Structure 1
Amino acid sequence: MSAYVISEVGEVRDAAAFEAYRTIAAKAIAAYGGRYLIRGGAANVVEGVPPPKTIIVVEFATMNRLREWYASPEYAEALKLRQDAFDRRLIFVEGLSPA
């Protein structure tokens, strides 16, 4: 069953570190079979509070593979940059079971 990472990016504090994070994270995501479904496209609020500044959705084949990516040494390098570069909320979500 597919699994998804939803990243809600808030304030970017360091634009250069944010871009470096994006580059490293994209390589790590690809190495673990992830694929971007949404990467910062325009968002319109229809109901509720304003959205974060950027929304990213990445699909992985399974929740196990998603967790392997998140705990990987490749992604650890990106996480070091993230701490000072920007604020975010990160959510892991399981997809629907095949019918």
Structure 2
Amino acid sequence: MSAYFILEIHPDIKDQAIDDYLACISPDMTFHGGRVRSPGGKVQPVQGNREMNRLVIIEFRTVSIAREWYEEAKQANEGVARYRSLFACPAVIVAGMDG
């Protein structure tokens, strides 16, 4: 079953910081078979009143692979400033559907 890593970008984060973050995580993401589905695209609300800014969405084959990727990327980039700028943003891993 596919899985998605979803990172909600704070409004004060600049485009360059998102690009830097994606460049930082790209080698680990590729190794784990991850594919970027939204590289920080703007959110267009259609229901409710929750304000959201932008989302990074990355697809993986399974939840366990997504979790493994996240832990390895976090450890590998712990001291890297361009990774750390988005580390405080909320993130989740959610199971998807196959077929």
TM-score, scaled relative to structure 2: 0.75
1:43 Cα offset (Å): 2.4
| Map of 2:66 onto structure 1 | 66
Amino acid across the alignment from 2:62: T
Do the aligned partners of residues 17 and 50 (structure 1) sit closer, same or farther apart at CA in structure 2, a change above 3 Å counting?
Answer: closer
Conservation of the 8 A alpha-carbon contact between 2:60 and 2:66: yes
| Map of 2:31 onto structure 1 | 31
Structure 2, unpaired ranges of 5+: none
Counterpart Cα distance in 2 of 1:2 and 1:77: 24
Conservation of the 8 A alpha-carbon contact between 1:6 and 1:90: yes
Q: Secondary structure at the match of 1:55?
A: strand
1:1-80 aligned at under 5 Å gives the runs 1-10=1-10, 11-12=12-13, 19-47=19-47, 48-52=49-53, 54-72=54-72, 74-80=73-79
The count of corresponding residues between Structure 1 and Structure 2 is: 94
Q: Which has the higher strand share?
A: 1
- Give RMSD over aligned pairs: 2.5
Counterpart Cα distance in 1 of 2:39 and 2:16: 18
Counterpart Cα distance in 2 of 1:35 and 1:63: 14
Superposed CA offset, 1:31-66 (max 9, x none): 1100011112232222322113x2011100011111
The percent identity for this pair of structures is 24
User: After TM superposition, what 4+ stretches of structure 1 lie above 6 angstroms from structure 2?
Assistant: none
Do the aligned partners of residues 60 and 92 (structure 1) sit closer, same or farther apart at CA in structure 2, a change above 3 Å counting?
Answer: same
Structure 1, unpaired ranges of 5+: none
Counterpart Cα distance in 1 of 2:18 and 2:41: 17
